[in-house]
Chains A and B, each alone.
Chain A
Amino acid sequence: MNKILEVKHLTKHFKEFTAVEDVNFYVEEGGFFSILGPSGCGKTTLLRMISGFIEATEGEILIEGKPMRGIPPEERPVNIVFQSLALFPMMNVYENVAFGLRRKKLDKTEIDTRVREMLARVGLEGFEKKKVTELSGGQRQRVAIARSLVMKPSILLLDEPLGALDRKLREHMKVELKLLQKEIGTTFIYITHDQSEALVMSDRVAVMNKGRFEQIDTPKNLYKNPKTAFVAGFVGESNRFELSGRQGDTIRTTSGWELERPGLDFDPDVLFIRPEAILINPDPQMEAIDRFDATIKTILFDGANTKLSAVLGGGEELLVSLPQNARYDSLSEGDAVTIGIHYDDLKCYREV
Chain B
Amino acid sequence: METKRNRAFYFVLLPVLAWLMILIFIPHIELLVNSFKVDGQESWTLENYTDFFTNRIYWMTLVKTVSYAIGVTILAFIVAFPVAFYLTKVVSKRYVGPLTMLLLVPLWVGELITIYGWMIILGDHGIINQFLIDLGWIEKPLPLLYNDFSMILGLLYMSVLFMIVPIMSTLESLDDSLIEAASDLGAGKWTIIRRIVIPYAMPGIVSGSIIVFMLVIGDYLAPNILGGKSSLWFTEQIYNQFLSTFNWNEGAAFGFLLLLISSLIVWIALKVSGQKLERVGS
The residue in chain A whose Cβ has the minimal distance to the Cβ of B187 is A103
The answer on a CB contact under 8 Å between B181 and A82 is yes
The answer on a CB contact under 8 Å between A99 and B187 is yes
Knowing A74-B188, A103-B191, the reply to whether A86 touches B183 (Cβ < 8 A) is no
Inter-chain contacts of A86 with B (CB < 8 A): 175, 177-178, 180-181
Inter-chain contacts of A103 with B (CB < 8 A): 185-187, 191
Q: Report which of B178, B184, B199, B200 forms a contact with A80, defined as CB distance below 8 A.
A: B184
Indicate if A73 sits at the interface (CB-CB under 8 A).
yes
1/0 per residue A54-89: CB within 8 Å of B?
A: 000000000000000000111100111011101011
A158 to chain B, nearest CB (A): 12
Inter-chain contacts of A74 with B (CB < 8 A): 183-188
Inter-chain contacts of A53 with B (CB < 8 A): 180, 183
Inter-chain contacts of B191 with A (CB < 8 A): 103
Inter-chain contacts of A88 with B (CB < 8 A): 178, 181-182, 195-196
**Interface on chain B toward A: helix, strand, loop, or mixed SS?**
helix
The answer on a CB contact under 8 Å between B180 and A151 is no
The answer on a CB contact under 8 Å between B200 and A90 is yes
Q: Report which of B183, B185, B196, B202 forms a contact with A147, defined as CB distance below 8 A.
A: B185
The residue in chain A whose Cβ has the minimal distance to the Cβ of B174 is A89
- Complex Cα spacing A78 to B199, Å: 26
- Complex Cα spacing A82 to B182, Å: 11
Count of residues in B whose CB is under 8 Å from the partner chain:
18
The answer on a CB contact under 8 Å between B185 and A99 is yes
Indicate if A51 sits at the interface (CB-CB under 8 A).
yes
A160 to chain B, nearest CB (A): 12
Indicate if A245 sits at the interface (CB-CB under 8 A).
no
Indicate if A104 sits at the interface (CB-CB under 8 A).
yes
Inter-chain contacts of B180 with A (CB < 8 A): 53, 73, 80, 82, 86
- Complex Cα spacing A128 to B165, Å: 35
Inter-chain contacts of A148 with B (CB < 8 A): 184-185
Inter-chain contacts of B177 with A (CB < 8 A): 82-84, 86
A6 to chain B, nearest CB (A): 21
Inter-chain contacts of A233 with B (CB < 8 A): none
B275 to chain A, nearest CB (A): 12
Q: Which residues from 86 to 107 on chain A have a C-beta closer than 8 Å to any C-beta of chain B?
A: 86, 88-90, 99-100, 103-104
Q: Which residues from 160 to 184 on chain B have a C-beta closer than 8 Å to any C-beta of chain A?
A: 175, 177-178, 180-184
- Complex Cα spacing A103 to B195, Å: 11
B144 to chain A, nearest CB (A): 42
1/0 per residue A166-183: CB within 8 Å of B?
A: 000000000000000000
Inter-chain contacts of A89 with B (CB < 8 A): 200
- Complex Cα spacing A257 to B177, Å: 52
A204 to chain B, nearest CB (A): 24
- Complex Cα spacing A103 to B191, Å: 9
Inter-chain contacts of A99 with B (CB < 8 A): 182, 185, 187, 195
Inter-chain contacts of B195 with A (CB < 8 A): 88, 99
A77 to chain B, nearest CB (A): 11
Q: List 14 contacting pairs A-B, 8 Å CB cutoff, sorted by A.
A: A74-B184, A74-B185, A75-B186, A79-B184, A80-B180, A83-B177, A86-B177, A86-B178, A86-B180, A88-B178, A90-B199, A99-B182, A99-B187, A100-B186
Residues of A within 8 A of B (CB): 51, 53, 72-75, 78-80, 82-84, 86, 88-90, 99-100, 103-104, 147-148, 151
Residues of B within 8 A of A (CB): 175, 177-178, 180-188, 191, 195-196, 199-200, 202
Across the A-B interface, the 8 shortest Cβ-Cβ residue pairs: A100-B185, A86-B181, A103-B186, A86-B177, A90-B199, A82-B177, A74-B186, A86-B178
Contacts A88-B195, A104-B186 supplied; 16 other A-B pairs, CB < 8 Å: A53-B183, A72-B183, A73-B184, A74-B184, A75-B186, A80-B181, A80-B184, A82-B180, A82-B181, A84-B177, A86-B177, A86-B181, A90-B199, A99-B195, A100-B186, A147-B185
